[in-house]
Amino acid sequence: MTDNEIIKAFDCCGGDGCANCPARPFTDCVDRIMDEASRIINRQKAEIERLQECPKCVYAMVGEEAVDEATAAKAWERANVGADNA
């Protein structure tokens, strides 16, 4: 299932009903949705951890250019102000 199909399946379980659910063909649809959601969460968690290890990568991902490592580090700090309190 794609990420969008998984999100739609959660919406269906949350009240939209099974008629248009992309997980409907599976006999164990709830288990399938949970497994797929776990896959997405773990993939995104790994991506966040990778980006946290490399501040320059974050800016490359959003199209900003870090002039040098010191500039990238300062930008990273500014972007994460208060992140510990979130």
pLDDT on residue 21 = 86
- Within this chain, do residues 38 and 79 fall inside the same structural domain, yes or no? no
Instruction: Say whether both 45 and 59 belong to one domain.
Output: no
Query: pTM for the full model?
Result: 0.54
Residues 4 and 38 in one domain: yes
In angstroms, the CA 82 to CA 84 distance is 5
- Tell me 83's DSSP state: G
- Residue 58's pLDDT is 56
Reference 13, options 37, 38, 40; nearest CA is 37
**pLDDT for 20:** 84
Specify whether 17 is located in the same domain as 58.
Answer: no
Domain count within the chain: 2
Terminal C-alpha separation, the chain: 31
Mean per-residue pLDDT pooled into runs of 10, the chain (86 residues): 86 81 85 90 88 65 57 72 52
Q: For position 69, what pLDDT does the model report?
A: 67
